[in-house]
A and B are shown apart, each in its own frame.
Chain A
Amino acid sequence: MKILIIAEHKNGVLAEATRELFGLPLGQAEIHAVVAGEGIAPLAEPLGQLGAAKVRLVDSPALAGGTGESLGQALGQVIPQLAPDVVLTAHTPQGRDLAPRLAEGLDAALATDCIQATFNDGQVTLRRPVYAGKATAEVEFTDDSLKVITIRPRTAKAPEPDTALSAEVTSVSVQLSEQKTVLKEIIAGGGERPDVTEAAIIVTGGRSLGSAENFSIIENFADTIGAAVGSSRAAVDAGYRPYRDQVGQTGKVVSPQVYIACGVSGAIQHLAGMRTSKHIVAINTDPDAPIFQLADHGIVGDLFEVVPLLAEAVKNRTGG
């Protein structure tokens, strides 16, 4: 079996979600990688060290902007030349935009947002969440078309690079037709703190924070442990946090190593966005709050008291 990994990158660095793909149980499959963009040649080395046997570089100034249209067109030309059995990419904003373009253009089968994936002896076994994580289901492929698969970030752990490994590197060129979409501008938001979809730890606050200013309690604690700040919808609707921090069915779906919910009741729509977190901690004054049914560890208490003490306890431990 030949697996082609589409490598995502930003500012000359491979995305962590791409590195993680090499940590999946890929069996004896032959692993190839493709990188598209401008000035991307330096990425071949880390891809080789992660385990790609061959790396194809699609280097073109026309791909610098990286619109879904241009990327889809470029990869749509390259993939048939490489004739893989599986195209694998991370279920990131880029991956989720790209995968259906490729699947449709290449007459392939599509399975998105998989949270388990095993590749063995030409067999692909996948499981994905359905009904916002209230259940999971196995994906069966009904024919032997090319398979385009996206994997939810943090499903696997990225392997350590092996400096003894290197890939055979080839450049490929593509012919892009006139584009219908033009990227005009990227407005950087975010700031210093990690984004909820990328962070290993998320500290989330709910309606009970009572104001945007009070969220500084959550931020201070999050900053002591390098965590992202998440929010319930009630806190977003009240204007305490921007929508991009919202976790849940109509917000972001996250899967961090640790999710710390402070003053969040655990409404079913909130759980839908975070139930695949590896470890869940709840801090809530109400011992009957539904969040405790999902939590591994809990503190029944007032967040205004407990959360600042957590920040202090971290500083005491690290001697800071």
Chain B
Amino acid sequence: MNIFVCIRQVPDTTTRIKLREDGNGIDETDIQWIISPHDELAIEEALQLRDRQPGSTVTVLSAGPERVVESLRMALAMGADSAVRLDLPGDADSVVNSQALAAAIDKQGTADVVFVGKEAIDNGAGAVGTMLAVKLGFPCINVVNGIDYGAGSVTCRRDVGGGNIEIIETTLPAVISAQVGLNEPRYATALNIIKAKKKPIDTLSTDELGISEADCKTLLKNFELPPPKQPCHLIEGSPAEQATELVRVLAEDIQAI
């Protein structure tokens, strides 16, 4: 099987965000970059599937500037067979990112299955996988936390909110977006991280992909940090008095109960 994984490089979850001076993005100095957490699940799923299907390969794609090479190396260290960077600025929108990924998959041949994370934790749009599927003419199953592989089809469990689970069957090829619970991503060993440093990583330019950054339909601007919070009002007294006062606040001041 030709298995593809699309990953996004994002700031580490503990990063304190600082804004750029012009307010139209974040200050990227001192940021620790990681593979977006749901994308690690996508990589793991691809590796497990490959290992059950002799002759399969896992190709990892990431659109972004030079820095994303580091995350692609991490995917290679986890066990992916090859990795390709699609040269786009970090702030390209979902439309152009999905265009780039679709073009890259077409260039590499045919895909049997494409795994993505359910959303990247920087932009959080959760759109690229679905848009990619529409471009490729593949069905797309989102927010998947369990997969049974059949012959030419897969059955997915998906989290549809309200504690409800949908069981959906789809033909392959398909795009599947990974949700927590799908698997436990492996850690790359130190040895494999060192080995991955020597592996080649191809880059495809926008020209080679036949796309243009100018096709972005949206851009983000005027970033703001959340307004500073008023200091917390601490409720004093005995535990019983504290409880009575908090319930009064909820009922009378906030009128929530």
Interface residues of A (CB under 8 A from B): 67-69, 92-94, 96-97, 99-101, 103-105, 108-113, 127-143, 145, 180-191, 195, 197-198, 200-201, 225-226, 242-244, 246, 249-251, 253, 257-258, 268-269, 272, 275, 279, 281-282, 287, 292-302, 305-306, 309-310, 312-314, 316-317
Contacts and interface: CB of A to CB of B under 8 A. Distances in A.
A104 B161 CA distance: 24
Contact of B166 (A127, A134, A185): A185
A300 B234 contact: yes
Given A249-B121, A310-B243, A313-B244, A268 B164 contact: no
B126 to A, nearest CB: 5
B81 interface: no
Interface of B: 11, 13-17, 19, 26, 37-38, 93-95, 98, 121-128, 130-131, 134-135, 139-143, 145, 155, 159-171, 174, 180-181, 216-226, 229-230, 232-235, 239-240, 242-244, 246-251, 254, 256-257
Given A97-B142, A180-B171, A186 B165 contact: yes
Given A110-B95, A275-B226, A317 B247 contact: yes
Contact of B134 (A105, A249, A293, A299): A105
B interface, over-half SS: mixed
A195 B224 contact: no
A100 B131 contact: yes
A299 B168 contact: no
A68 B160 CA distance: 11
A140 B237 CA distance: 50
22 contacts: A93-B143, A97-B142, A112-B124, A132-B124, A135-B19, A139-B220, A140-B219, A180-B171, A182-B168, A182-B170, A186-B167, A187-B165, A187-B167, A195-B163, A243-B145, A246-B180, A253-B124, A281-B246, A282-B232, A296-B232, A302-B239, A306-B242
Given A112-B127, A297-B246, 4 more contacts: A185-B166, A249-B37, A268-B13, A298-B232
Nearest to B140: A68
Contacts of A300: 234
A121 to B, nearest CB: 20
Nearest to B252: A317
Contacts of A302: 239
